[in-house]
Structure 1
Amino acid sequence: MEKLASRLQEANVGKVLIGEKLANHTTMKIGGPADIFVEPSSIEGLETTIQLVKEFGVNWRAIGRGSNLLVSDKGIEGVVIKLGEGLDLLEINETEVTVGAGYPLVKLATVLSRQGLSGLEFSAGIPGSIGGAVYMNAGAHRSDFAQILQKAYILFEDGTFEWLTNEQMKYSYRTSILQKERPGICVAAVLNLTKGNAEDIKAELKKNKDYRRDTQPWNYPCAGSIFRNPLPKYAGQLIEESGLKGFQIGGAQVSEMHGNFIVNADNATAKDVLDLIEYIQKTILEKYHVELHTEVEIIGRK
């Protein structure tokens, strides 16, 4: 690993760290070390990183801003690539927006609202980046990325890059082709928005942001919604009706504001969170005969 780290540093791909704790890079503030942590300073730096990782035959994993993610206490084997500030390009051409994977979703929604561009109002308050949002078809308020994505520039597991159209992404509820069928990560995206009144768009954005702030526990480290909604039912409602609000295992607690959020209330470990997830799943299955499946992605060493 040290030799690979040296080669990455020599290639000037960006920030390269050994043993970096991923708790520093997740919104839940949980996660052990990465063997090697790389934050590329450009798409070229990302391409070089992938080439070297392939040359050394090392496993790799990409992350964005670390929301919707639970990282093992034992960390992640191989190379973790953070798509951050070096991959935050933004180009606006009338209603067509080209944006890098590292661009913060909240910031993009704000910038576009000032330009009078409508379509991202649903994303107000979502703490992730564009790459993660495209990957998981992030959504809220009856809209999602499937409604606005034209195409996405994808890095696949074999190190190749390719543009995929909206149709090729095979979007469904919080799911895309990138998660299982054809694993890959979004490096950049082209979005199709519509012209609107800037003041109306900003007002809608504020309304959605205020709703999220008033109903979700962003005053504690958390990963966002833990479970997928077993439609037509809602995970949060089932959890709340089962009396689990405030229930705690170790430092992990079911939020007292929203049943579908687990917060890091007191130096929680990934094991605390996993134990709490399992307890919730068992309780809901016994009470309502409903299986809850995680929306949060669980990664790292077992």
Structure 2
Amino acid sequence: MRILVTGGAGFIGSHVVDALIEQGHEVAVVDDLSTGKREHLNPRARFYHLDIRDAKGLEEVFAAERPEIVNHQAARANVRESLEKPVLYAEVNVIGSLNLLELSRKYGVEKFIYASTGGAVYGEPEYLPADEAHPINPLDPYGASKHFVEHYLYLYGVNYGLRYTILRYPNVYGPRQDPYGEAGVVAIFTGQMLRGEQAVINGSGEQERDFVYVGDVVEANLLALDKGDGGIYNLGWGFGTSINEIFARLKEITGYEKEAVHGPPKKGEVFKICLDATKARRELGWVPRIGLDEGLRITVEYFKRCG
């Protein structure tokens, strides 16, 4: 199939592109390289250096590629940054996504797969693990922007017949995550430990997240090619792991000799979240396979090789 992947030079998107090409699909990538990297691009994918806010440029891509499926990974995805730049998050995550939806309608795209967030749309959870019926109450512009597009997908489905699947991601980690960024504690700790720098835990470290290896998230995207029409699906193990535990496991794997320093907690972040993926297991056949210890070891080995 002809598939357009936005954010295909990014952490998760580049892995999605690799898997699609391995399956024999014809893939085009749109990425503005604001956080994605050229070295992550699959050479067998056609690349368009483009911001999804550029509606005219996007239309040229749709006219040239005539995608049958759009896999939309591109987003600004930093909770802390979204609190500082809420308008930017509306422009990129909302307006950019609407540009893609409207072009999908105009050019007869068969299906739209959307990467949303289970870590941010629910807010501070009323119960755990949170399932898809949990009330939506994002605490930051990032989570709000992602949910806004979820509802627009529903409207495009009802009014224009666009098939779609929404995947609510947990805390995804693995190779190619940015060790110098503000998001992605596994990559940040790994980078700091391998460089011998002081690792800093924000707050008490008792915050819990549902950590899922990137390869398992890619598998959900592949399953969504022909399953899950009109559905919203949490991805996750259904249990949380504390930041202190992540630090301890990475310290053991890397041989890091320093103790963590605790800084102030970060505004806008939920304290504990984990996701009930029963629906994804039942309807998509998705089951995470890479456990935390194995995933952390793979990730550390990657950063040892690639820096």
Query: TM-score normalised to the size of structure 1?
Result: 0.29
Looking at secondary structure, tell me which structure has more strand per residue: 1
Looking at secondary structure, tell me which structure has more helix per residue: 2
Between structure 1 and structure 2, the one with the greater Rg is 1
